[in-house]
Amino acid sequence: MSLHKSINHLRKGETATIVGYRSDDIPIKIYEMGLLPGVTLTKKQQLPFNGPVYLRIQDNPNAIALRESEADLILIESMQKT
């Protein structure tokens, strides 16, 4: 089901919108960093051997890095590549 894709399913360069979270019990920092439902983000790269993911949030010059375990908590709906 497309609804249950997480950030980990994104390919490099792919853009998606956050639609929810896998559980209620996620670090508060995810919210505070602005990884909120409705936010559009792009996966820019990932380090080898399941290393952290490098994300860019729309309209924000700062980047965010997550481990795969956190990326897995954030559910997304991927958008058509423009």
Partner 1 sequence: MTEMKIALVGNPNVGKSTVFNRLTGLRQKVGNYPGITVEKKTGSFTYRQIRYHVIDLPGAYGIHPSSLDEEIVYDVLVDKTNPNHPELVVVVGDPFNLKRAVFLYQQIREMGLPAIFVINMIDEADRSGTSIDVGKLEKLLKTKVILTDARSGKGIDQLKASLEFQPNGYAPSFAVPEEIAMPLQQVKDQTAPANDYIAWLYLSQRQNKHLSDHQAQELSDIRRAHGLNCHRLQIQEALARHASLEKDLAGVVRDPAKKKQYTTERADRVLTHPVWGYVLFFALLLLIFQAIYTWSGPFMDGIENAFAWLASRAGERLPEGPINGLITDGIIAGIGGIVIFIPQIAILFIFISLMEESGYMSRVVYLMDRWLRPFGLSGKSAVPLMSGAACAIPAVMSARTIENDKERLITILVTPFMTCSARLPIYIVLIGLVIPEHKVWGLDLQGLVLFGMYVLGILAALGSAWVLKQLMKSNYKSYLILEMPTYKYPVARNVVFNVWDKTKGFVVGAGKIILAISVILWVLGSFGVSERFTHAEDIVRSENPGISEVDFENEVQSQKLEYSFLGTIGRVIEPVIEPLGYDWKMGIGLISSFAAREVFVSTMATVYSLGETDDELTIRQRMAAEINPNTGKPAYNFASGISLLLFYAFAMQCMSTIAVVRRETNSWKWTFIQLAFMTGIAYIAALVAYQLLK
Residues that bind partner 1 (CB under 8 A): 24-34, 36, 38, 44-52, 54, 56, 59-67, 69-70
> Smaller CB distance to partner 1: residue 54 or 78?
54
Q: How far is the CB of 42 from partner 1 (least distance, A)?
A: 10
> Smaller CB distance to partner 1: residue 47 or 79?
47
Q: How far is the CB of 17 from partner 1 (least distance, A)?
A: 14
Q: How far is the CB of 19 from partner 1 (least distance, A)?
A: 14
Query: 12 near 44, Cβ under 8 Å?
Result: yes
In Å, how far are 29, 30, 55, 80 from 66, measured between CA atoms? 11, 10, 8, 23
> Smaller CB distance to partner 1: residue 2 or 24?
24
Cα 8 to chain centroid, rounded: 7
Nearest to 44 by CA among 66, 28, 77, 76: 66
